[in-house]
Amino acid sequence: MRQDAMRCATLSILLAFGFLAPPAKAQTDPAIRAAARAAIYREDPFLLAAVSRVGGFGNVASASIANRMYSREFAPALADAVNKLVIEPQGPGTWLLRFPWVNVAVFETSAGLVLVDAGYAPAGPALRDALRSISRQRVHTVIYTHHHIDHMLGTWALLEAGEKPEIIATAELIDEVNRDITSRELTSRLNNQLLSDFPRSPADLPLPTRTFRGCLELEIGDDRFVLTHAPGETADQLWVAVPTRRIVVAADYFQPFLPNAGNGKRRQRYVTSWAQALRDMVALEPLRALPMHGPALGSTEEISRRFGAQARALESIAAQTLKALNDGTRKYNVANGIALPADLATSADAAELYVTPRDIARTVAQEYTGWWNELPSEWSPATRATQAREIISLAGGIDRLLARIDTLRATDPVLACHLADWAWLAAPDDARVLSTASAAWLERLRRLPTPTQEAVEYVEHLVTLRVQAEQLASAKPR
Range list of β-strands (E), 34-133: 86-89, 94-98, 103-109, 112-116
What pLDDT was estimated at residue 20?
Answer: 41
Show the DSSP H helices in 218-356 as ranges. 271-283, 300-326, 342-345
d(CA 141, CA 415): 54
The DSSP secondary-structure symbol of 441 reads H
Report in angstroms the alpha-carbon separations of 245 from 108, 238, 383, 472: 11, 19, 59, 65
Taking only Cα atoms into account, the Rg of the chain, rounded to an integer number of angstroms, comes to 24
Helix, strand, coil shares of the chain, percent, nearest 5, are 50, 15, 35
d(CA 381, CA 224): 57
Whether residue 356 contacts residue 262, with contact meaning beta carbons closer than 8 Å, is answered with yes
Q: Is the dihedral of CA 298, 301, 303, 306 positive or negative?
A: negative
| Strand arrangement of the beta sheet that strand 215-220 belongs to | 215-220, 223-229, 238-242, 247-251, 288-291
The b/e string for 15-25 (b: 16+ C-beta within 10 A; e otherwise) is bbbbbbbbeee
What is the block-wise mean pLDDT of the chain (478 residues), using blocks of 10 residues? 44 43 48 87 91 87 90 96 98 98 98 98 98 97 97 98 98 97 90 88 96 98 98 98 98 96 91 98 98 97 97 98 96 94 92 94 95 95 96 96 97 98 96 98 95 89 94 80
CATH architecture of 64-368: 4-Layer Sandwich (3.60)
Task: Report the DSSP beta bridge partners of residue 247.
Answer: 242, 288
List, by residue range, all CATH 3.60.15.30 domains of the chain.
64-368
CA angle centred on 51, ends 100 and 124, rounded to 5°: 20
The DSSP secondary-structure symbol of 59 reads B
Which contiguous run of DSSP H or E holds residue 50?
helix 46-51
What pLDDT was estimated at residue 97?
Answer: 98
Show the DSSP H helices in 284-412 as ranges. 300-326, 342-345, 357-368, 384-395, 398-411
Cβ neighbors of 305 (< 8 A, separation 6 or more) are none
d(CA 181, CA 336): 36
In single-letter form, the type of residue at position 91 comes to G
Stated length of the chain? 478
Report in angstroms the alpha-carbon separations of 403 from 212, 295, 414, 432: 61, 50, 16, 11
What pLDDT was estimated at residue 172?
Answer: 98
Show the DSSP H helices in 119-257 as ranges. 124-134, 149-152, 155-160, 171-182, 184-190
Side-chain-side CA neighbours of 51 within 13 Å: the count stands at 29
What pLDDT was estimated at residue 28?
Answer: 55
